[in-house]
């Protein structure tokens, strides 16, 4: 790489970091608190990954995603997942037109940002309809493959599985999400601000910060960011350590884990670290960047056994031990 290219890449990373700060500021006009959540979602967008937001109802998960769609100049569709939702309701179906020939009628999945609201309130059959779209960025209906527009993100909300009327997400579905982001209750001071701003009747105008073309450029940039061999090896080793009865597994993993993270976790740890470094204006990630996103990547890919549940050992406890 010549010196001109180096300067160009440095300028591009600087522009990405500025865009990230602008996005956070614009989203902050509506979303009070939840700064780490906002940061994680935006990082996953820049890394071209999907995110799953988990929390009890009423924590503004849907509002956060709709706000992000407003500040990005992208098409946005919201799909409310219900027990009677069918795959054709989200992918589309072939219909007989006035000329008595079949025509494909696109479903809401044909958009840039998909809000899959309460994704675990629909049965696994419909959840599985998202698998091809999330991995291949396409859907196949009646044997015909239809390519989705780019960029394409699925930002899903999920209620805790202990709640009434929920279905656990299949492991293959969970693995398609780059990040699993937990939302907690706001602090007392944040809740005061939320109530004050939402009960005053003021309409907040949001500005578009990024276009689809700019997001695609940033996604390409994130992949090009160089990474040191020791950081790459650390990320792959971290994912490998979560797999019980393998050479790198720790005693805690062997005792408390049924199965660990696959190779996709290693890929997402590295991509997430690159994006995390870039949004903070760093030109190459280090091990601290992997630590910053490790819980988001690993918590839904590491499955505890009955012994861990009986002894109250959480997935986060095990991941913290590995870090």
Q: State the residue range of the domain holding 99.
A: 1-224
- The answer on 302 and 213 residing in a single domain is no
**Strands annotated E in the chain:** 50-54, 72-73, 76-80, 92-96, 102-106, 113-117, 138-141, 144-147, 153-158, 177-182, 210-211, 257-259, 303-304
Do 212 and 296 reside in the same domain of the chain? no
Q: Are residues 110 and 132 in the same domain?
A: yes
The residue with tokens 């910053």 is 292
pLDDT at 5: 46
Nearest Cα residue to 50 out of 111, 116, 110: 116
Same domain, 213 and 244: no
The last residue of a domain, from among 224, 256, 281? 224
Indicate if 95 and 53 belong to the same structural domain.
yes
pLDDT value of position 166: 65
Q: Are residues 56 and 183 in the same domain?
A: yes
Residues 214 and 261 in one domain: no
Question: For residue 267, what is the domain's CATH number?
Answer: 1.10.8.80
181 shares a domain with 231? no
Q: pTM for this one?
A: 0.87
Domain match, 17 and 122 both: yes
Contact, 248 vs 242, CB < 8 A? no
Q: State which residues of the chain have pLDDT below 50.
A: 1-2, 4-5
| pLDDT tens per residue across span 229-251 | 999 999 999 999 998 888 888 88
Residues 267 and 288 in one domain: yes
216 contact partners, CB below 8 Å, separation of at least 6: 150, 151
Domain count, the chain: 2
Amino acid 290: pLDDT? 94
What CATH number is associated with residue 28? 3.40.50.300
Is 213 in the same domain as 308?
A: no
Shared domain for 161 and 251, answered yes or no, is no
- Answer with the one of 224, 240, 272 that is the final residue of a domain: 224
End residue of a domain, out of 198, 224, 250: 224
Q: Determine the Cα–Cα distance for residues 194 and 32; give it in Å rounded to an integer.
A: 6
């Amino acid at each position: 790489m010549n010196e001109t290219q180096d300067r160009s890449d440095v300028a591009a990373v600087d522009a990405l970091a500025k865009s990230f700060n602008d996005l956070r500021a614009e989203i902050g006009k509506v979303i009070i608190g939840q700064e780490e959540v906002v940061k994680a979602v935006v990082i996953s967008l820049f890394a071209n990954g999907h995110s799953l937001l988990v929390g009890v109802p009423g924590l503004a998960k849907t509002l956060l995603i709709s706000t992000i769609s407003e500040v990005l100049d992208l098409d946005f569709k919201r799909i409310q997942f219900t027990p009677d939702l069918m795959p054709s309701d989200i992918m589309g179906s072939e219909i007989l037109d006035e000329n008595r020939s079949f025509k494909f009628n696109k479903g809401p999945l044909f958009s840039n940002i998909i809000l899959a609201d309460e994704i675990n309130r629909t049965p696994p059959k419909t959840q599985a309809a998202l698998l091809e779209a999330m991995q291949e960025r396409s859907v196949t209906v009646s044997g015909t493959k239809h390519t989705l527009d780019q960029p394409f993100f699925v930002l899903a909300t999920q209620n805790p599985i202990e709640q009434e009327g929920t279905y656990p997400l299949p492991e293959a579905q969970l693995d398609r999400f780059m990040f699993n982001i937990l939302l907690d209750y706001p602090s007392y001071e944040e809740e005061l601000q939320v109530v004050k701003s939402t009960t005053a009747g003021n309409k907040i105008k949001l500005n578009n910060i990024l276009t689809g073309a700019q997001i695609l450029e940033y996604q390409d940039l994130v992949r090009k960011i160089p990474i040191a061999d020791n950081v790459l090896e650390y990320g792959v080793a971290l994912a490998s350590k979560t797999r019980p009865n393998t050479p790198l597994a720790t005693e805690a993993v062997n005792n408390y884990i049924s199965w660990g993270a696959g190779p996709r976790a290693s890929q997402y740890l590295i991509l997430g670290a690159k994006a995390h470094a870039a949004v903070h204006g760093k030109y190459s990630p280090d091990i601290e960047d992997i630590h910053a996103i490790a819980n988001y990547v690993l918590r839904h890919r590491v499955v505890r056994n009955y012994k861990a549940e009986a002894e109250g050992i959480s997935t986060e406890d095990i991941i913290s031990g590995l870090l």
